[in-house]
Amino acid sequence: MVQYMTMIKVNIAEAKARFSKYLKKVEQGETVVLARRNRPVAEIRRIKVRRRGRRPMGLCAGDFVVPGNFDAPLPEELLDAFEGR
Q: Give the pLDDT of residue 5.
A: 57
With respect to residue 39, please indicate whether it lies within any of the assigned structural domains: yes
Quote the domain boundaries for residue 39: 7-44
What's the pLDDT at 2?
40
Please state, in angstroms and rounded to a whole number, the distance separating the CA atoms of residues 85 and 78. Answer: 10
Q: What are 46-75's pLDDT values in tens digits?
A: 988 877 888 788 888 888 888 899 999 989
> In this structure, is the dihedral angle defined by the CA atoms of residues 51, 56, 60 and 65, taken in order, positive or negative?
positive
pTM above 0.75, yes or no: no
Q: How many structural domains comprise the chain?
A: 1
CATH of the domain at 40: 3.40.1620.10
For residue 64, is it within any domain? no
Q: What is the pLDDT of residue 62?
A: 85
